[in-house]
Amino acid sequence: MKKILLIICLLFGVILVFNSCNKNNSVKTDSGSILIGLVMPETHVDRWVKDGASLKRFAESRGYRAEETFAGTDQNVQNGQIRTFIKEGAKLLIIGSLSEGIIPAVADAAKAKIPVIAYDRIIPNSADYDYYITFNNYEVGTFQGKSIEDGLDLKNATTANPKTIAFFAGAATDGNAFFFYDGAVDVLNPYIDKGVLKVIGPYPRTSKDSAAFKSIATENWQAAVAEARMKDLLANEARDVRLDAVLAPNDTLARAIIKACLDDPKYSGGNLPLITGQDAEADSILAIKNGQQSMTVFKDTTKLAEAAIILADQILKGEANPVVPGATLAAGDLAVIGDTGKKIVKAFLLQPIFINKDNWNIPVQAGYFTPEEEIRLK
Ligand code: BGC
């Protein structure tokens, strides 16, 4: 009997020790890991889902805790998510913002001494953060403009037989939309001036031409908005002309514009205008392969996410002059990219890649797609 009691006591002791070790361990990992809040704008554009997942993966691989949120294009929701992260004790926020409406929430983060990295999109008119990481967005627009210049052979176009184009821009609440547009029209304006390229519908000469820019902008980058505007254009200003090109700022909107064109008898036979894009979305790679979309721009957001976490890690470790491999600190003329309107933040830039039917495999080789997407692309 004594022996049995002794064994029970020993067992009980082992269990107690084991349990307390376990608790210590879990307490250690929970409170020991630093939380990074990942605040993404939307999910209706594929890339943000990938951005969120990659950011989380890279943060966790460096021993951080990371949570991702998506705001569904609603600024109030996004501000709520930021404030929740502040309450949860996040030590750094990586934010893909929606609009200027974010300013008070970023100010709250600054009050709580939480550093913010503006991710992909600048946070305008705020002096409450120091870092921005993005792609060279002006160059994205340049790629789009050049593909139209080459595709329509504008160098050899004549005033007797001018080419025609319609312009679309992204959300006027997103600073990137301005860079994309300016990059494209800086290539196209000389041809418009010469009279060999004719704009059908509104024509902002630059993104600073606010009223005209608003009339080509697409609220929240919503496909339905672009599709409706394209339909309207086809039924009105473009009714009696054949459009040779449509400047579409990203893939989501490019496919919406293609859809509207395919509903029009003039283009339904596949005789589509040249339509640009951006983001290398799987569906647009398919559209490029079947000739409906002319090009896209591959911004490897896996690399952007990795670079953002490398930056975050250095900020959290108190590094005053972070260095981000694979990204260039914008200097000289490019430093304006970091101009929020209230201060110049450090802007780190990654390079976008031009994609068309000849090199569509680049994002596949870079491992950009999910296994399901890869199967669809084969
Ligand atoms: C991003 C694009 C994206 C667009 C819509 C922009 O800020 O840079 O990659 O297509 O937002 O989400």
d(Cα 307, Cα 305) in Å, to the nearest integer?
5
Atom of ligand 1 nearest to the CA of 47: 9
Task: With a cut of 80, say whether residue 79 has pLDDT above it.
Answer: yes
Atom of ligand 1 nearest to the CA of 44: 12
Task: With a cut of 50, say whether residue 229 has pLDDT above it.
Answer: yes
Atom of ligand 1 nearest to the CA of 137: 8
CA 85 to chain centre: 22
Atom of ligand 1 nearest to the CA of 41: 12
Q: In the prediction, which pLDDT does 73 show?
A: 98
User: What is the number of alpha carbons within 13 Å of residue 354 lying toward its C-beta?
Assistant: 13
Which pLDDT band holds residue 193 (cuts at 50, 70, 90)? very high
Beta bridge pairs of residue 116: 93
Averaged pLDDT, 21-32: 36
Atom of ligand 1 nearest to the CA of 301: 9
Q: In the prediction, which pLDDT does 333 show?
A: 87
Distance from the CA of 134 to the center of ligand 1, in angstroms? Answer: 11
Distance from the CA of 44 to the center of ligand 1, in angstroms? Answer: 11
Work out the mean pLDDT of the chain and round it to a whole number: 92
Distance from the CA of 333 to the center of ligand 1, in angstroms? Answer: 23
d(Cα 327, Cα 349) in Å, to the nearest integer?
5
Pocket test for ligand 1, best of 42, 121, 174, 178 (most atoms within 8 A of CB): 174
Question: Considering just the CA atoms, what is the radius of gyration of the chain in Å?
Answer: 25
d(Cα 86, Cα 108) in Å, to the nearest integer?
8
Which pLDDT band holds residue 269 (cuts at 50, 70, 90)? confident
- Amino acid identity for residue 169 in this structure: A
Pocket test for ligand 1, best of 121, 136, 279 (most atoms within 8 A of CB): 279
Distance from the CA of 361 to the center of ligand 1, in angstroms? Answer: 21
Q: In the prediction, which pLDDT does 10 show?
A: 42
Pocket test for ligand 1, best of 120, 135, 207, 284 (most atoms within 8 A of CB): 120
d(Cα 225, Cα 301) in Å, to the nearest integer?
25
Task: With a cut of 80, say whether residue 24 has pLDDT above it.
Answer: no
Atom of ligand 1 nearest to the CA of 175: 7
Which pLDDT band holds residue 16 (cuts at 50, 70, 90)? very low
Task: Please write the tens of the pLDDT for every residue from 99-113.
Answer: 999 999 999 999 999
Task: With a cut of 60, say whether residue 1 has pLDDT above it.
Answer: no
- Residue whose CA is closest, atom 10 of ligand 1? 250
Pocket test for ligand 1, best of 51, 176, 181 (most atoms within 8 A of CB): 176
d(Cα 278, Cα 301) in Å, to the nearest integer?
12
Q: In the prediction, which pLDDT does 298 show?
A: 98
Residues with Cβ within 6 A of ligand 1? 45, 47, 120-121, 170, 174, 176, 221, 250, 278-279
Which pLDDT band holds residue 32 (cuts at 50, 70, 90)? very low
Task: Please write the tens of the pLDDT for every residue from 130-155.
Answer: 999 999 999 999 999 999 999 999 99
Atom of ligand 1 nearest to the CA of 251: 10
Distance from the CA of 175 to the center of ligand 1, in angstroms? Answer: 10
Higher-confidence residue: 10 or 265? 265
Distance from the CA of 81 to the center of ligand 1, in angstroms? Answer: 20
Averaged pLDDT, 178-206: 98
Task: With a cut of 50, say whether residue 21 has pLDDT above it.
Answer: no
Percent of the chain beyond pLDDT 70?
92
Averaged pLDDT, 276-286: 98
Which pLDDT band holds residue 342 (cuts at 50, 70, 90)? very high
Pocket test for ligand 1, best of 43, 45, 135 (most atoms within 8 A of CB): 45
Which pLDDT band holds residue 270 (cuts at 50, 70, 90)? confident
Task: With a cut of 90, say whether residue 8 has pLDDT above it.
Answer: no
Distance from the CA of 102 to the center of ligand 1, in angstroms? Answer: 17
Q: In the prediction, which pLDDT does 175 show?
A: 96
Atom of ligand 1 nearest to the CA of 279: 9
Give the lowest-confidence range in 19-23, 62-66, 341-345.
19-23
